[in-house]
């Protein structure tokens, strides 16, 4: 598995991360097979959140990971969402959330902690206090955010002594506002709308790794686009290029993200070992510029 540096952390990570949101109902053998597939393919970076499966995803993973050496695994979790009620970046919530995740995971530390969705009431100094406590105690090694724009990150960074190393954002073939506005600069069309403050270029300039979530989905968890009859032109293009590159459509969908020079780290969402292996194979595929644009346009995008 090809590796990249995660932000400015000095931590070398697989170019594809393993999402664990949907593993909460896995049986012990299923969870073991899930981890085995990832590790066998060189993917040892696992993404969690305190709310996934109501915390059960971390419990299932914590049991399965006992078959491996902790130092061979890179574990990331997220906090800050109180489902259906609020976002909470208070000192107490961050500390309590991390302690809860550590207990469920059965480990003394996580490699990366991300703040999950922006909190409108965020006080940077309070977040910095929590981060300092977690880092000095050895419970968290690196920190980042999720779904934040450049000004939100700059505001938070102004109070921190450590760099933000990652920003987890929705991105994939069927969710491309991060690149559409850049392609359509100064145009009178919907695609020219800058919806995120130029977060893609900001992260590249500041060496913050973008972690695309739901890379196989369209809309907001509406379903997958591969082999979906709603997207005939896209799937026709993927089928043609699958033959050219000798890989599956799923592999191509991840490879399309990896082709971008921002050196993103897409987060998989599947729990099926076979499909997971297809996602991870994308690290071996490099699309041509022409094929990358062919996929982009077959998803319904128009070049100005």
Instruction: Tell which residue, 55, 161, 139, has the closest CA to residue 104.
Output: 55
Q: Which of 52, 91, 188, 293 is catalytic?
A: 52
Instruction: Tell which residue, 137, 184, 178, has the closest CA to residue 266.
Output: 178
What CA–CA distance (Å, rounded) separates 169 from 147? 5
What CA–CA distance (Å, rounded) separates 79 from 104? 14
Q: Is 43 exposed, middle or buried (0-12, 13-18, 19+ CB in 10 A)?
A: buried
To which H or E segment does residue 165 belong? strand 164-170
What CA–CA distance (Å, rounded) separates 44 from 120? 33
Q: Beta-carbon neighbour count of residue 66 at 10 Å?
A: 10
What CA–CA distance (Å, rounded) separates 83 from 54? 9
52 catalytically annotated = yes
To which H or E segment does residue 211 belong? strand 209-213
Catalytic residues: 52
């Amino acid at each position: 598995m090809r590796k990249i540096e995660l932000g400015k952390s000095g931590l070398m990570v697989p170019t594809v991360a393993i999402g664990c949101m949907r593993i909460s109902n896995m049986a012990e053998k299923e969870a073991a097979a899930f981890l085995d597939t990832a590790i066998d393919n060189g993917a040892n970076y696992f993404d969690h959140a305190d709310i996934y499966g109501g915390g059960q995803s971390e419990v299932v993973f914590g049991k399965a990971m006992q078959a491996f050496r902790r130092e061979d695994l890179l574990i990331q979790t997220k906090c800050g969402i109180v489902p259906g009620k609020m976002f909470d970046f208070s000192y107490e919530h961050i500390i309590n959330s991390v302690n809860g995740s550590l207990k469920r995971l059965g480990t003394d530390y996580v490699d990366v902690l991300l703040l999950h969705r922006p909190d409108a009431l965020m006080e940077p100094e309070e977040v910095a206090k929590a981060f300092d406590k977690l880092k000095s105690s050895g419970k968290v090694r690196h920190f980042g955010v999720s779904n934040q724009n450049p000004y939100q990150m700059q505001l938070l960074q102004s109070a921190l002594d450590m760099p933000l190393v990652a920003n987890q954002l929705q991105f994939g073939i069927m969710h491309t506002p991060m690149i559409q506005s850049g392609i359509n600069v100064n145009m009178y069309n919907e695609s020219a709308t800058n919806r995120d403050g130029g977060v893609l270029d900001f992260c590249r300039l500041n060496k913050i790794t973008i972690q695309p979530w739901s890379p196989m989905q369209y809309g907001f968890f509406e379903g997958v686009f591969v082999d979906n009859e709603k997207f005939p032109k896209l799937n026709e293009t993927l089928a043609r290029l699958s033959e050219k590159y000798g890989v599956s459509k799923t592999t191509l969908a991840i490879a399309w993200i990896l082709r971008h020079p921002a050196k993103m780290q897409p987060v998989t969402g599947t729990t099926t070992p076979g499909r997971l292996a297809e996602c991870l194979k994308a690290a071996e595929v490099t699309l041509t510029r022409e094929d990358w644009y062919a996929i982009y346009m077959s998803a319904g995008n128009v070049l100005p």
